[in-house]
Chain A
Amino acid sequence: MTPGHGPEPDASTLRAARRRLLFDMLGIVASAAGFGVVFGLTARANGFSPIEAMASSVIVFAGASQFLAAGMVGAGFGWAAIVILTGLVNARHLLYAAALGPWLRDRSRGERALMAHVLTDESFALSLVHFRRLGFADRRGYWLAAIGGVFIPWNLATLAGVLGGQVVPDPRLLGLDIVFPAAMAGLAVGLATARREVAAGVAGVGIAIVVGLASDPRAGVLAGGFLGPVVGLLVPRRDPKVPEVDELPADPASFSVPNRSDDGLAP
């Protein structure tokens, strides 16, 4: 089955998958809200007005590069350096879009163009798990994850931070800084449903650490993301006659096949 081209699941399967998506989103919403407030505070501390901070969150909508830009503006860097670094930091989105492309190719160009703007680490992870769980590209699930899970919390929290964030406690004290890496690790585990995925994930981790220590953590992420799948491709399938996860039908019964299609992350 080609990604995104499976039969549309029945209404009850779709509802169940969306409930699981909502459950998976809870931690992401908390993380986006916590760090949105911190971004608002950081932006204000570095001379951004509320309009400028909100413009960054709405127009750029890429947390790491927004923090980078706020710090660099405060330190007096020129715009050219900030823009170049932003391009490098956000280059990883190319991988996300390429991975989601086959799922979303039936959507109109206009809708895909809008979907692209809200494609982040979190929306990629949530929607890919959701699509694979269903064997179907559920466009409402994508919008739910991207807008409800990230865009709205991030922007409302930015506004709260830039207008009056001093009353909000430090997210580190509440352990909220753990949510983002923990969610990424948990979602990676959820996607690692066969030998090749496990190999790609483990290789991605190892390469990211080695390259990150040798140069820069962001370079490590890119290297792990690009080279990890190459390592995964070198691993033979367990049994070529057995379909891979994405080739399984979107049948609720198939979700109970141990270690094959059960990438569900909720109870």
Chain B
Amino acid sequence: MNIGLVGLALLMFAVTYPARAIPLLAPAFERLPPRALEYLRLVGPAVLGAIAASQVLVATGAGGRPVLHVGIEAVAVLACAALVAWRRNLFLGLLVAIVAAAAARALGIG
């Protein structure tokens, strides 16, 4: 069985782990001023919203160029976010999003 690509995995680890570990391990990150802590507190909603938006609203068009795409994925994600805001229930939101997407695709409108 081939194991040559284990080396590639180790190199990928070598460039991934520092981003995960340095802010957790470096002493400078343990003595941040209040303004920096306030900034970091806002990273969560900003980066999670950015991930969700880029996943469902930016697609790859002809020639590999990014294009705006508003489809059932965006509708389903919006429905999930609205349900979480209304009912404070992530599981319900995910369930509705999954069913909406699967049903739309089954009906050929996804």
**Which chain A residues have a beta carbon within 8 Å of chain B's beta carbons?**
2-3, 23-24, 26-27, 48-52, 55-56, 59-60, 62, 65-66, 69, 73, 79, 82-84, 86-87, 90-102, 104-105, 109, 112-113, 115-117, 119, 121, 124-125, 128, 172-192, 196-198, 200-205, 207-209, 212-218, 220-221, 223-225, 227-230, 232-233, 244, 246, 262, 264-267
Contact = CB atoms under 8 A, between A and B. Distances in A.
B66 A217 contact: yes
A79 B7 CA distance: 10
B12 A213 contact: no
- Which applies to chain A's interface (DSSP): helix, strand, loop or mixed? helix
Contact of A262 (B32, B40, B88): B88
Nearest to A90: B16
Residue from B11, B19, B20 whose CB has the most chain A CB atoms within 10 Å: B20
Contacts of A187: 44, 48, 90
Contacts of B29: 98, 101-102
B52 A264 contact: no
A217 B59 CA distance: 8
Interface string B13-28: 1111101111111000
A224 B42 CA distance: 11
A223 B49 CA distance: 12
A188 B45 contact: yes
B9 A52 contact: yes
A166 B51 CA distance: 29
Interface residues of B, number: 77
Contact of B90 (A97, A119, A190, A221): A190
20 contacts: A48-B5, A55-B3, A83-B8, A86-B12, A121-B51, A178-B100, A184-B48, A184-B49, A184-B51, A184-B55, A197-B45, A205-B49, A212-B66, A214-B66, A218-B54, A223-B50, A224-B47, A228-B49, A232-B42, A266-B88
| Chain B CB within 10 Å, residue with most, of A113, A179, A186 | A186
Contact of A83 (B12, B24, B99, B101): B12
B90 A229 contact: no
B88 A117 contact: no
Contacts of B12: 56, 59-60, 62, 65-66, 69, 82-83, 86
A220 B25 contact: no
Interface in B45-91: 45-58, 66-68, 73, 76-78, 80-81, 83-85, 87-91
